Amino acid sequence: MTTDSNLNIEKTIDTPKKTPKQKIFSFAKNLLIYGLVFAVIYIAINWWRQPVMPANPQLQLTDYQGQSVDLAALSRDKPTLVYFWGTWCPVCRVTSPTIDKLAAANDYPVVTIAIKSGSDQELHSYLTEHNYRFTTVNDQEGEIFADWQGQVTPSYVVLKDGEMTQGLTGMQPLWSLKLRLWLSEVF
> Residue 10 pLDDT > 70, yes or no?
no
Q: How many domains does the chain have?
A: 1
Mean per-residue pLDDT for 116-139? 98
Domain-located, residue 155: yes
The alpha helices in 50-91, defined as continuous H runs, are 71-77
Q: Are 62 and 69 in contact (CB under 8 A)?
A: yes
- 146 domain-assigned: yes
pLDDT at residue 14 tops 70: no
pLDDT at 48: 87
Adjacent-strand bridge partners of 86:
none
pTM score over 0.85: no
Which residues on adjacent β-strands are paired with residue 135?
Answer: 111
Residue 7 has pLDDT above 80, yes or no: no
Q: What is the domain-level CATH number for residue 123?
A: 3.40.30.10
The boundaries of the domain holding residue 86 are 60-186
